[in-house]
Amino acid sequence: ISPSGPAAPTLSAGFQDVTIDGNAFGLFVTHAAGVTITDTRITNSLVDGLVFHRFVSDTTVTRTSAVNSGVDGFTVARSSSGIMFDQITATNNGRNGVSIDGRSLADGPSAIGTSVESFGSSTVTRSTVEDNRRYGIELSGGQALGVYSSLIARNDMGIVLDDGASGVVVAGNTLKDQSRQSIAVRDRVTATSVRNNSISGSPTGVYVRNAGASITDNTIRAASNHAVSLVGDVTSVRVVSNALSGSGAVPVWDETSTGAVVAGNNLTGWQRATTALTLARSVFQPLTVVWLLLALLLLVTALTRSGPQFGTIRHPYAERVPLTSLSRGIVSRESVGGAP
């Protein structure tokens, strides 16, 4: 759907029970409002499955699938807002299952007066996003975005929030077996709520870098590295009332971060794993290092000494023999001949 001309009117359309296979783009929509797409199947697109390109608003996509696209399954580009994805399926796509970009079209004043406002109010609910090669769902910039009650499984990373997104809610989702991180919040993201999610089977459950988020009431199981990782400036981060279980060095890793509030989490299911770092820290205590250095010094001295005096094994007191070994011993005065 694409009206022509720079001042093209806004169009509306509806699709229901449509099958689209093997095109460059499955559906490409721009300058439209009130579009409804229902019970549609998009497969084997060479680029993206379903694209909302520019100035698309108040649109609903329901019970629609995008499978085996070359790039993304579902894409919302800059300047589109109010896109509601409900009960969609995005699987086996070459990059992301769902990409929503709410960033402004310009970062500042421009020669043609391009808007600097950000976009948003788009959501993904009750959906299935599995086996995509990069991210399950990526929310870049924008505001008032949300991911609710969805299954996100076996992607490289599950849900990624970046590029200054604000007011994002990630709630009530089930995330399973991501290759790296289940939920990543990074790069100036603010006022974000990550709550009531069930996360299992990824090395890191929730990762936050230079961003602000409230991480509450989540259940994280079978994490193999850290349940929560905090990096950089996380002054506006709260990690509170989560149930964290798994095996790793520590459940909440914050050694390279500042400012976070971490309190009231249930850590009874966490098992401290022995790693090369923890083993080195336990072995190389200050006193242990001193004894090891002394032992090394003695060993080096023994191996490097030279000279004829070191060629054979000698008695330690060879030069200090008893006097009796140098004379006949003590004799009486009478036995000495010629004594007066």
Which residues are paired to 135 by β-bridges? 157
Least Cα distance to 47 among 79, 93, 15, 10 occurs for 93
Separation CA 249–CA 210 (nearest Å): 22
| Sequence spans of domains, the chain | 14-273
The pTM of the full predicted model, rounded to 2 decimals, is: 0.79
Geometric angle at alpha carbon 246, from 243 and 247, rounded to 5°: 140
Q: Which CATH number fits domain 14-273: 2.160.20.10, 3.40.50.150, 2.40.50.140, 3.20.20.70?
A: 2.160.20.10
DSSP 318: T
* 3 state DSSP class of 290: helix
Residues of the chain with pLDDT below 70 are 1-10, 106-118, 274-284, 305-319, 321-333, 335-340
Separation CA 211–CA 209 (nearest Å): 5
Separation CA 319–CA 275 (nearest Å): 55
Who's near 297: CB < 8 A, 6+ residues apart? none
Contact 133, 156 (CB under 8 A): yes
pLDDT of residue 297: 82
pLDDT of residue 143: 93
Mean pLDDT rounded to a whole number for the chain: 87
pLDDT of residue 120: 86
pLDDT of residue 13: 87
Is the Cα dihedral 23, 24, 26, 28 positive or negative? negative
pLDDT of residue 149: 98
Geometric angle at alpha carbon 138, from 134 and 144, rounded to 5°: 170
Q: What torsion, rounded to 10 degrees, do the Cα atoms 89, 90, 92, 94 define?
A: 170
